[in-house]
Amino acid sequence: MIGKLVMVDIPDPQLSEATRIHLSRFQPGGIILFRKNLIDAAQAQNLVLELKALLGNDLLIAIDMEGGGVWRTNFLPYAPSAMNLGASNDPALARAIGALVGRGLRSLGINWNFAPVLDVNNNPANPVISDRSFGENPKQVSALGMAWAEGLMEAGVAACAKHFPGHGDTHLDSHLALPTVTRNLEGLEEYELVPFRAAVAQSLPSIMTAHIIYPAIDPDFPATLSKKILTGLLRERANYQGVIVTDSMGMDAIDKNYGRGEAAVLSIQAGADMIEALGSQASQEKTFLALEAAVQNNEISKQRIEESLARLQKLAQRFPIAPLEYSQNQQDLDSKTMQAAWQRGIVAYQNPSLPELGTNLTLLVATEEQSHNVSELGISGSSLAAALGNLYQLETILYDHKNPLAALELLQNTKHPIIFASTSRRRLSEEVKTLVKAAHPTLHLALWNAYNVLDVPAPALITFGYRPEAIAALLEVLRGQAQITGQAPIQL
């Protein structure tokens, strides 16, 4: 039964014979789906039901559908990012959006969403959280995050608070390195831990761990592997009774420092209930075999396994895999609701003056934005130009991230006011900042990382995201058809 404490991903949109054999052999208790697995609603629903038939009624099928840049389907309405909702600061709206996210997932049969993010983002250099956080105020993050989670669960999908005890105050991405948060315990209690205490108080059914070292609590192990944190702090001190699931053990913070199998054993010993063993079937096998060996060697007790199995079974029975109808008419209505929510979260920075419709403008924007670990592909420069071309007589200058300064010559030839659009999840590179400084833009459209307004010498409109509904909302603002009412939930 140790396999039931493991979640894996699968390589394709269909179950190959090799994948079926692998899953049947190890009997994982959870499957997580990514964009690679999802083509359209019918295919996704069929895949979910096939997995349930293969692995049983207590299967947990998870996904990362946070909103904004972390969104695994391209056929469901796009929800606002958490920071966009933070800018409107309306728990009722957050709850409504959570419910719409849940409705889409429930239609596919997916019963566990790894959201909301309860990290309090107070570090402008944070490379992985940023717009995924509701903001930098712990009480605001608590109120909005809990409302969003309640809406999701009302729709029949389990919520998961992440990343405990907090990933907001880091300058490293745990996909690539092992970060440390040096705040003392008192500081953690007053800041990072506030939203997670709310999650415990409201009996949120699951919490995900962070691959981060917190020396004030445990100087030796990251939270995912720390008994002091998972058992001592979360189970015993906070009296949390729900499921503890790890973040992906394939992330370099764990894989390069501890190894897949060894880390899985340490995490179960520390108090985790489910291990995210993502990656190749060979790497997944290392996790299963290491856990089996630990049981045989009495490194993991039968009681410890039974405790986790009981929690996981309770979660699966509360949120069963049971797809519901989601009509096209309802999807269209939900998309309009999402767009209205995106619009409410747009923020004006330094009193921007909006260009008159039909004027001649030059748009400076990156050619494309690649996906980065957890986030999906960003908006392309040509797509943004096509949208803005409906409003203005537009000339477009595209730059490549590999050599942005090559666009300097094109800038010298333009005679029109310049709009710069930042479309990157990350902060601007020094080369791009040099390019933008030379451009002297009159307006900055910050379409992903809001902290980029700190690097651009121009007033800005901040959307906290670039999805189709976000761009449609931005166009409404630029047309003068919508008021700008959002307030940045971070210091800028």
- Secondary structure of residue 85 in the 3-state scheme: helix
Q: How far apart are the first and last CA of the chain?
A: 50
66 phi and psi angles, rounded to 5 deg: -85, -30
Backbone angles phi and psi of 296, in degrees to 5:
-65, -30
Q: Which residues are tagged catalytic?
A: 175, 247
> Among all chains, which residue has been given the structure tokens 């349930």?
52
CA separation for the pair 435, 144 (Å, rounded): 37
Q: Which amino acid is at 164?
A: F
What is the dihedral angle through the alpha carbons of 147, 152, 156, 157, rounded to the nearest 10 degrees?
-120
Give the strand pairing for 460-462 and 443-446. parallel
Burial-class residue 32 by CB neighbours within 10 Å (0-12, 13-18, 19+).
buried
Radius of gyration of the chain (CA): 23
Q: Tokens 């090799």 correspond to what residue?
A: 18
CA gap 415, 309 in Å, rounded? 67
CB proximity list for 387: less than 8 A, separation 6 or greater: 471, 475
Which alpha helices (H) appear in 41-157, and where do they start and end? Answer: 41-55, 82-88, 91-108, 138-154
Q: Retrieve residue 26's tokens.
A: 């190890």
